[in-house]
Every structure is written in structure tokens, then in C-alpha cells.
């Protein structure tokens, strides 16, 4: 297949590109800039531009069989600061892109939504795909709106969408600026000897998914003819304090933690039910959390050592 990956130069996207190439697919990537952590891949056709750039998107779409939409310009923790910008950069641009797909007759699209925000405060755990959608942050509201527009375009124009509501991915190439990605943020704080901030009492519970498992999910979804909504997660959860202790064990060092008042948009507990993906896509996570944490820390440690080595020359 010839597959266009929107956001293929990002953390998740770069691993999806690797997974697709390993499976023998032809890959195009659309993004604002090239990857941060490595040079462009010679077998990939890159298109660089803003998500609002229709001419470049139209060129990238020519002749493709499927699209993976992984672009998001906001994160849950900051989306409420400017909901209008969230709507304009994510919702408006996505709907414009769906119109473009219709105009060039590309039907298949995989959209990466958010299992951690679209459901809001869950009434049952683990959360099934048919759980009501009651997001309490702009990030989740926009994701739901994009999902609804995909449903509309499926009904009216024949798009064939599959929506992936993922839990919290982690792994190599994840940024560690502190706005998203608790695993990489905590590990970077350990490496730099800084304190980490935990909002609330540390009892918030989430499930975490190693990024290559998510990449495999994306490939299987793209190769299938299935449509609809699928959860992607580990199937089990742990509290932030439990995660912090596992990170300490993986890193061999202690975290220095400071606690601050909880935030209104933080859901206390969310764990995804993944039985639908097991049954219909024959997918389940292959990397245990402990192993994934060790793999990520090894990668971050090597990058830190390489950086120090370059500065000393």
C-alpha cells in the first residue's frame, strides 16, 4: 500500500513510519518539519508545511491508498488556555483535509484520537468504546468533534474511517519538555537532578502503552477494512505514584517529588478496555511496562551521553 502519514515526523508518527516500512509499505510523510532525533529516511517521501497548507496536502494525497492522521497541535494540559486556537488548528484543518480527501477520491483514513480525554470521568471501568463521551478539556472536545465529522463524511461521502482511542504512549523519541509525556519528563528530571511536579496526591490512575505496540496497532488498522472506534491501551492501570516508583527502578535513581494542588481537568481514573482490538484486529500489547521503561531510559541515557561527548570535543 501507499500510505500518507500526517504527523509522521513526530514521536508516535516516526515509529508508525518504521512499522509501515518494515511491513513493506510505501510511505509518505507530511509534517511541519523533519524529525528531531534522526535524519530523513531515504525511502520516505517527505512533504513539509503547515496543516492548513492545502496545495501541499493535495500533492501529498495524490495516488495514496490510505491516510494515518496523527497530527495534533495541542496537548490536554494546555488546550484549555486557548480553545479557539485548538479549534482552528485541529478541528478546522482536519475538516478541510477530509474535504480534500473527498475531492481526490481517497477513502481510507485512520485517526488517532484520545482514550484518556474523550470519555471524561468514566462511569464504569475499564472503559468500553461505547461509553458516553463527556470530555472536560478542549483537547478531548476537539477530538470528539473530529470523530463526529469523520462519521458525517463516512455517511455522506464514503470515507472509511477507523478511529483509535489510545491511552498514554511512551518510548524513545518522546519529548520531555514537561507538557506531555510523564514517563519521559520524569526520566529527564532524574538525569538532570531536578524535582518533578505531581498535581494532586499522585493517586490518578492511567494505563500506559509502549509506542511500538501503538505503531503496530496503527499498521494493523490501516491494513484492515474495518471501520469504527477501537481502544488501544495496556488494559490495566496504575497510579502516578506507582509509575514513579517503577521509573525509579528502571533508572536506578530516586525521584525528588513536589506536590501541587490537583487540576480540574484531570480525570481521576481512566483505564481502557481493549477486548475489541484483541478480537477483531488480533492485537494486544507485546512490551511489558517494565521492559518499555528500561528501553526508554536506555535511549535517553545514550542521548545524554552523546550530547555530553559532543560538547566536550
Residue 237's pLDDT band (boundaries 50, 70, 90)? very high
Least confident of 62-76, 176-190, 252-266, 291-305: 176-190
pTM: 0.94
Give the largest CA-CA distance in the chain: 61
User: Where do the domains of the chain lie?
Assistant: 2-312
Burial level of 254, CB count in 10 A (0-12/13-18/19+)?
A: exposed
Average pLDDT value over all residues in the chain:
93
Residue 84 pLDDT level (bands cut at 50, 70, 90):
very high
* Contacts of 177 by beta carbon, 8 Å cutoff, 6+ apart: 185
pLDDT, average across residues 102-124: 97
Identify the residue whose cell numbers are 525509579.
248
pLDDT at 263: 82
**Per-residue cell: 121:** 470521568
For the segment 217-235, the average pLDDT, to the nearest whole number, is 98
Whose cell is 500500500? That residue is 1
Q: What integer pLDDT is reported at residue 267 of this predicted model?
A: 87
Handedness of CA 83, 84, 85, 87 (dihedral sign): positive
- Please name the residue that has the C-alpha cell 512533504: 47
The mean per-residue pLDDT over the stretch 197-206 comes to 91
- 137-175 burial code (b ≥16 CB/10 A, e <16): bbbbbbbbbbbebbbebbeeeebbbbbbbbbbbbbbbbe
> What pLDDT, on a 0 to 100 scale, did the predictor assign at position 311?
41
Whether residue 6 has a cis bond before it, omega within 30° of 0: no
- For 34-82, the pLDDT digits (tens) are 999 999 999 999 999 999 999 999 999 999 999 999 999 888 877 889 9
DSSP 8-state assignment for residue 159 = -
- The answer to whether residue 127 scores a pLDDT higher than 70 is yes
Report DSSP state, residue 177. S
Contacts of 286 (CB under 8 A, 6+ apart): 212, 213, 216
Least confident of 120-124, 256-260, 278-282: 256-260
Runs of H (alpha helix) within the chain: 11-22, 54-61, 76-79, 83-86, 93-104, 138-157, 182-192, 211-223, 240-251, 275-281, 289-312
For domain 2-312, say whether CATH 2.40.110.10 is its number.
no
Radius of gyration, CA atoms only, the chain: 19
Q: Between these two residues, 303 and 311, which has the higher pLDDT value?
A: 303
Amino acid at each position: 500500500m501507499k500510505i500518507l502519514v500526517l504527523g509522521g515526523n513526530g514521536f508516535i508518527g516516526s515509529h508508525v513510519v518504521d512499522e509501515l516500512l518494515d511491513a513493506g509499505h510505501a510511505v509518505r510523510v507530511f509534517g511541519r518539519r523533519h524529525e528531531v532525533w534522526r535524519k530523513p529516511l531515504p525511502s520516505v517521501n517527505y512533504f513539509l508545511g503547515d496543516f492548513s497548507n492545502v496545495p501541499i496536502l493535495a500533492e501529498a494525497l495524490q495516488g495514496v491508498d490510505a491516510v494515518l492522521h496523527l497530527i495534533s497541535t495541542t496537548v490536554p494540559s494546555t488546550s484549555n488556555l486557548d480553545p479557539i486556537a485548538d479549534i482552528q488548528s485541529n478541528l478546522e484543518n482536519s475538516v478541510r483535509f477530509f474535504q480534500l480527501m473527498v475531492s481526490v477520491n481517497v477513502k481510507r483514513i485512520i485517526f488517532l484520537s484520545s482514550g484518556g480525554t474523550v470519555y471524561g470521568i468514566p462511569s464504569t471501568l475499564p472503559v468500553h468504546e461505547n461509553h458516553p463521551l463527556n470530555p472536560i478539556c478542549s483537547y478531548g472536545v476537539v477530538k470528539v468533534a473530529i470523530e463526529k465529522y469523520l462519521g458525517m463524511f463516512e455517511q455522506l461521502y464514503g470515507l472509511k474511517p477507523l478511529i483509535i482511542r489510545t491511552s498514554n504512549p511512551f518510548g524513545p523519541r518522546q519529548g520531555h519538555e514537561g507538557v506531555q509525556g510523564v514517563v519521559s519528563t520524569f526520566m529527564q528530571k532524574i538525569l538532570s537532578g531536578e524535582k518533578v511536579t505531581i498535581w494532586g496526591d499522585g493517586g490518578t490512575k492511567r494505563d500506559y502503552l509502549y509506542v511500538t505496540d501503538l505503531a503496530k496497532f496503527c499498521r494493523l488498522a490501516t491494513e484492515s477494512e474495518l471501520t469504527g472506534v477501537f481502544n488501544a491501551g495496556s488494559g490495566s492501570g496504575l497510579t502516578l505514584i506507582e509509575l514513579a516508583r517503577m521509573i525509579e527502578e528502571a533508572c536506578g535513581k530516586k525521584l525528588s517529588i513536589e506536590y501541587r494542588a490537583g487540576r480540574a481537568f484531570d480525570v481521576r481514573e481512566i483505564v481502557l478496555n481493549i477486548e475489541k482490538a484483541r478480537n477483531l484486529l488480533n492485537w494486544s500489547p507485546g512490551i511489558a511496562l517494565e521492559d518499555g521503561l528500561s528501553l526508554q531510559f536506555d535511549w535517553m541515557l545514550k542521548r545524554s551521553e552523546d550530547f555530553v561527548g559532543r560538547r566536550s570535543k
